[in-house]
Amino acid sequence: MLSELYTLVELLIAALRQLTTLPSDPALRLAVYSAIALAALTLLGMLNVLVLSELAVRRERRRAAFTRLWRPVLIAWSMGEQVELPSLPRQRLEEKLWLLLMWANYQRHLRGSTKDRLNTLFNHLAMDNFVSGLLGSRKVHRRLIALTCLRHLGDESYWRSVTPRVASSNPIESLAAAEALVAMNPGHAMQLLIPLYIERSDWAYFRFKLLCKQAGREAAGPPLLAALKQASPPRIVALLEWIVPSQAAEWARYSLRQTSVAADLSNEQRDALCASLRCLGELHDSQDHELVVKALDHPLPQVRSEAVVALQRQATIEDETRFMRMLSDPNWWVRQAAADALVALPDIDTPRLDALYQGLLDRYGRDALRRAIAEKR
Q: What is the pLDDT of residue 367?
A: 92
- Mean pLDDT score, 174-186: 93
Q: What is the pLDDT of residues 283-294, one digit of tens each?
A: 888 888 889 999
103 neighbors 118 (Cβ within 8 angstroms): yes
pLDDT of 260 over the 60 cut: no
Chain centroid to Cα 370, Å, comes to: 35
- Could you tell me the CA-to-CA distances from 330 to 292, 300, 320, 363 in Å, in that order? 19, 11, 19, 11
Please give the full DSSP string across 356-371, using - where no structure is assigned.
HHHH---HHHHHHHHH
pLDDT value at 315 more than 60: yes
Q: For residue 38, give Cα distances in angstroms to 26, 31, 33, 44.
A: 18, 10, 9, 10
Q: Rounded to an integer, what distance in angstroms lies between the CA atom of residue 219 and that of residue 346?
A: 35
Residue 284's closest CA among 232, 323, 245? Answer: 245
Tell me how far apart the alpha carbons of residues 297 and 303 are, in angstroms, rounded to a whole number: 9
What CA dihedral angle connects 338, 341, 347 and 353, to 10 degrees? 40
**How many CB atoms are located within 10 Å of the residue 69 CB?**
12
d(CA 285, CA 313): 10
Question: Do 256 and 273 meet the contact criterion of CB atoms below 8 Å apart?
Answer: yes
In a domain, 23, yes or no: no
Number of domains in the chain: 1
Determine, yes or no, domain membership for 111: yes
Residues 281, 295: contact at Cβ < 8 Å?
no
| C-alpha torsion angle, residues 334, 339, 341, 345 (rounded to 10) | 160
Q: Tell me if 155 is assigned to some domain.
A: yes
CB contact at 8 A, 66 and 73: no
- Is residue 191 one of the residues assigned to a domain? no
Written as one letter, the residue type at 206 is F
Residue 280 covered by a domain = no
Q: Is residue 372 part of a domain?
A: no
Instruction: Confirm whether pTM is higher than 0.85.
Output: no
Least confident of 80-84, 131-135, 259-263: 259-263
In a domain, 30, yes or no: no
Q: Identify the domain containing residue 137 by its residue range.
A: 67-78+95-184
Q: pLDDT band for 21, please (50, 70, 90 cuts).
A: low
pLDDT in tens, 88-116: 666 578 888 888 899 888 888 878 788 88
Question: Would you say residue 37 lies in a domain?
Answer: no
What residues have CB less than 8 Å from 370, skipping those under 6 apart? 357
